[in-house]
Amino acid sequence: MQFFSREHLRSVFTKPTNYINTNRGEAYYKALYEKMRKRLDELKAMSPVREADIKFEKMLDMWELSRRDFLKWVSATTALLMLPPNFEPLVAEAAEVMNRVPVIWINIQDCDGNSEALLRSSAPTVDELILEYLSLEYHETLMAAAGDQAEEALEKAVHDFKGKYLLFVEGSIPVGMPEAFTIGRHPETGVERVQRLAKDAAAVIAVGACAAFGGIPAAYPNPTGAVGVMDVVKGKPIVNIPACPANPTNMVGVIMHYVLTGELPELDSLLRPKFAFGYRIHDNCERRAHFDAGEFVEEWGDEGAKNNFCLYKMGCKGPFTFNNCSIVRYNDGTNWPIGIGRGCIGCSEPDFWDKYATERPLAASNIRPPGLNGVESTVDQVGLGILTATVIGIGAHAVASLVAGKKSDENNQ
Amino acid sequence: MYEKVKRMTATMRIIHWVNVFSIITAVITGLYIANPFFQSFIAEPAAHKYVMAYNRLFHFFAALLLDVVSIVIFYLYFASRFEKVYKKVIPTKQNLKEFWEVFLNLITLNRRKNFDSTHLDSFNAVYFTVLHLLLLWMLFTGFYMYVQGLESGESAIGRWWPALLHLATDWVGWLLGGHAGVRWWHHFTMWLILSWVAFHIYYQVWRTIFWKEGDIGIVFGGYKFKKQPKEQV
């Protein structure tokens, strides 16, 4: 190919960044449809992990969810995965064959908030139902078993579904102080546990800011040396679904993508799925007009707060945070932090616990600057210090020059 | 008798004042962007005010001017027909000596002046280069933050532009620990530049007063004056 040929130049100058292509052309979607069809047929041919499980329709009845609720969910999930509407039947079918995919869900250093986010909705939701319907082989919070029985269930699941199960990890892993986390009668540390279970997993999915980047347990001074899954597990496909808590919609989206294609979704440089983390909160924020207008809330409850002004001056970190909560929101689209007037703390970004979670803009926050560990001063204090030192230096030189200047004048005379 | 010495061409002076006003604009608007220091209580719908948006617009235009002008300056460093600055920056023995002599002149309060002050000296040449290194650092950190807003990968001038910015600046985020670190450094470097400006202005005024050669006139009229040795008069 010639360097200056039109095709080559186009390929050079249209290098994809984190661009999300929402229309990839008919040929692509046709091929994708065929692929998904084939995958679903394969899954259908397989028997459910547990024969005795209830059928999906029955499950909907039991949860008092109408067919209409389910179809609404199907439409929303299809859109979330950026698939055209003719994929909806596939997504519906995928939900029904979910019980063919074994899932092991473990908790390390965390508050169980991500499981809670999925479970504690105001009314039963389809997302929640999917979690119930999934072949969830082990989940410390949800399972009925306890003690030895639970440990047995885990060993059995790892043995039976070797290389097939999805490992969901919730919580950070204490690397600096491994004994900070042990569980069960045959205790193993968090590091050992994650590494052992990840070894036989098809993929590891880190749910929540803790599992993804260390989260609150990794906050300064990080006493347990907490890190995320991707710092401990090597050589396995990993998906990070950060945020505190991770949005259930995104968890289900990743599972759906896996069920539909047998592959993990496209990821960004922090291993976050692009369909969810390819958007900056700031750019889809309902208060963005007030940002551009320079209308800011100055204090909680002031006139600006009453008028839904921008929360940037109250420390909103939306401009640096990539997540789709400004679009899909939380709790079935009920609301989200900026919607309730609180501002974003950047919970889907690494280090948000030390750097973002303040109630003032970064420039006015008392944040330990990187590279200057331990210096508890803000940029402006340090900067103004340097400027002051310069001015003092100048002043000293000027005064000295005046005095010396007079002397040399005298000498000249 | 005083001899008139040309030190700055019209182009150089225009470049200087473009830099001055760009830096002033960038600092004022940048401080507003970092922490909006005035509130716009104008009884108009949000869509009509655009205060933050104008601040960002002016900030970006100031940055754009600084960057473009810096490219011109970089070119002139090597190719100027009037005065090739790079010749004064490379650490040759003569340049090192001149740098040291000019520095001694400053700290001995003009009691020692063993260099030719009719042309650009090494000390100032190095000092100007420092500013451009600071501006380059601002360019990398600034564009790192700028491209965050182009996450769709599209821009008004095509997809090559965000792609190029990612290629050129993603390492900054890796180096400084993400957006928070980059913001911190971008803001902190502003203070370094302000300190640079403070010394720059002081030094030029000090030279004017103590050397008695009208140095401050260089940046306005392009000329300074040099006392001719008595023998020649």
In the stretch 214-273 of chain A, residues with CB closer than 8 A to chain B read 269
Residues A91 and A150 in one domain: yes
Q: In this complex, is the C-beta atom of A277 within 8 Å of any C-beta atom belonging to chain B? A: no
Please determine, for residue B1, whether its predicted confidence score (pLDDT) is greater than 70: yes
In sequence order, the β-bridge partners of residue A188 are A183
- Closest CB from A13, A349, A398 relative to B206: A398
Residue A241 sits in the same domain as residue A350:
no
Note whether A383 contacts B: Cβ–Cβ < 8 A: yes
**Residue B222 Cα, gap to closest chain A Cα (Å):** 25
Mean pLDDT of B113-140: 92
Whether the per-residue pLDDT at B224 is higher than 70: the answer is yes
Q: Cβ B35–A408 below 8 Å, yes or no?
A: no
Domain count, chain A: 2
A39 and A179 co-located in one domain? yes
Q: Output the DSSP codes for A230-275.
A: GGT--SS-EEEE-SSSPPHHHHHHHHHHHHHHSSPPPB-TTS-BHH
B160–A14 CB contact, under 8 Å: yes
Tens of pLDDT, residue by residue over B53-105, are: 889 999 999 999 999 999 999 988 888 888 888 898 999 999 999 999 999 99
Q: With bands split at pLDDT 50, 70 and 90, how would you rate the model's confidence at B143?
A: very high
A319 close to B (CB below 8 A): yes
pLDDT category of residue A19 using cuts at 50, 70 and 90:
low
Are B222 and B10 spatial neighbours (Cβ–Cβ below 8 Å)?
Answer: yes
Distance CA B61, CA B57 (A): 6
Query: Among A4-18, B2-16, B78-92, which stretch is predicted with the lowest mean pLDDT?
Result: A4-18
Q: Return residues 180-199 of B near A (CB < 8 Å).
A: 180-181, 183-184, 187-188, 190-192, 194-195, 198-199
Residue identified by tokens 């008069």 is B233
Mean pLDDT over the full length of chain B? 88
Q: What is the CATH number of the domain that holds A81?
A: 3.40.50.700
pLDDT at residue number B101: 93
Q: Tell me, yes or no, whether B208 lies in a domain.
A: yes
Selected for mutation to probe chain B from A291, A349, A387, A408 (highest B CB count within 10 Å) is A387
With an 8 Å Cβ cutoff, is B179 touching chain A?
yes
Residues A232 and A332 in one domain: no
Q: Which of B50, B153, B177 sits opposite A17 (nearest CB)?
A: B153
Q: What pLDDT, on a 0 to 100 scale, did the predictor assign at position A373?
A: 43
Indicate whether B111 belongs to any domain.
no
Same domain as A295, residue A181: no
Q: Does residue A9 lie in a domain region?
A: no
Cβ neighbours of A115 (radius 10 Å): 25
Q: Phi/psi of residue A149, each to 5°?
A: -60, -45
Final residue of a structural domain among A256, A277, A298? A277
Q: Is the pLDDT of residue A400 over 60?
A: yes
Share of chain A above pLDDT 70, in %: 87
- For residues A101 and A53, the answer to whether their CB atoms sit within 8 Å is no
Neighbours of B229 (CB within 10 A): 8
Q: Which residues of B touch A387 (CB under 8 A)?
A: 191, 194-195, 198
pLDDT, chain A, mean: 83
Q: What is the CATH number of the domain that holds B145?
A: 1.20.950.20
pLDDT at A263 over 90: no
User: Are A213 and A357 found together in one domain?
Assistant: no
More confident residue, B112 or A121: B112
pLDDT of residue B218: 92
Q: Is the peptide bond before A221 cis (omega within 30 degrees of 0)?
A: yes
Q: Name every residue whose Cβ is closer than 8 Å to that of residue A210 and which is 6 or more positions away in sequence.
A: A108, A109, A110, A170, A171, A172, A216, A217, A218, A226, A228, A244
> At which residue do the structure tokens 């200087």 appear?
B16
Please tell me the least confidently modeled range out of A253-267, A381-395, B64-78, B120-134: A381-395
- A282: nearest CA partner in chain B: B149
**Contact across the interface for B111 and A279, Cβ inside 8 Å:** no
Rounded CA-CA distance A170/A228 in Å is 10
- Domain identity same for A203 and A332: no
pLDDT band of residue A401 (cuts 50, 70, 90) is confident
* CB < 8 Å to B111, chain A: 404, 408
Both A240 and A190 in one domain: the answer is: yes
Q: Is A250 among the domain residues?
A: yes
Span B157-182, mean pLDDT?
88
Domain membership of residue B169 as a residue range? 2-88+128-232
Among A21, A12, A274, A7, smallest CA distance to B164 is for A12
Whether A56 has its CB under 8 Å from any CB of chain B: the answer is no
User: Is B112 contained in some domain?
Assistant: no
| The predicted structure's pLDDT at residue A376 | 42
What are the two backbone dihedrals, phi and then psi, of residue A382, each rounded to the nearest 5 degrees?
-65, -45
Residue bearing the bigger pLDDT, B173 or A413 = B173
Total number of domains in chain B: 1
pLDDT band at A375 (very low <50, low <70, confident <90, very high): very low
For residue A189, the surrounding DSSP H or E stretch is strand A188-189
Sheet of strand A203-207: strand arrangement: A135-139, A102-107, A166-170, A203-207, A238-241
Q: Please report the pLDDT score of residue A363 as a whole number.
A: 66
Per-residue pLDDT at A395: 86
Nearest to A363 among B35, B53, B178 (CB): B35
With pLDDT > 90 as the criterion, what percentage of chain B qualifies?
52
Interface residue of A12, A17, A372 to substitute, partner B, most B CBs within 10 Å: A17
Query: Would A131 be classed as within a structural domain?
Result: yes
What percentage of residues in chain A have a pLDDT greater than 90? 26
Per-residue model confidence (pLDDT) at position A389 = 85
Chain A hits for B194, CB-CB cut-off 8 Å, are 383, 387
In whole angstroms, give the CA distance from residue B150 to residue B161.
Answer: 10
Residue A410: pLDDT band (50, 70, 90) is low
User: Is the minimum CB–CB distance between B48 and chain A shorter than 8 Å?
Assistant: yes
Give the tokens for residue B5.
Answer: 């010495």
- Restricting to B residues 97-136, those with a Cβ less than 8 Å away from any Cβ of A are 106-107, 109-111
Q: Are A226 and A326 contained in the same domain?
A: no
Given an 8 Å threshold on Cβ–Cβ distance, is B39 in contact with A319?
no
Helix axes B51-79, B122-146, angle to 10 degrees: 140
Instruction: Answer yes or no: is A33 within a domain.
Output: yes
**CA angle, corner A127, sides to A126 and A132, nearest 5?**
90
Is B220 among the domain residues? yes
Q: Rounded distance, CA A307 to CA A300, Å?
A: 12
Asked if the C-beta of A294 comes within 8 angstroms of chain B's C-beta atoms, the answer is yes
Query: For the segment A102-113, what is each residue's pLDDT rounded down to a tens digit?
Result: 889 999 999 999
Are A274 and A266 in contact by the 8 Å Cβ rule? The answer is yes
* Structural domain for A285, as ranges: 281-364
What ipTM score was computed for the predicted complex, to two decimals? 0.77
With a threshold of 0.80, does the pTM exceed it?
no
Residue A265: CB atoms within 10 A of its CB come to 19
User: Rounded mean pLDDT of A334-345?
Assistant: 91
- Quick one: pLDDT band at residue B151, thresholds 50, 70, 90? confident
Residues A343 and A288 in one domain: yes
What SS3 class is residue A135?
strand
CB B184 to CB A367 under 8 A? yes
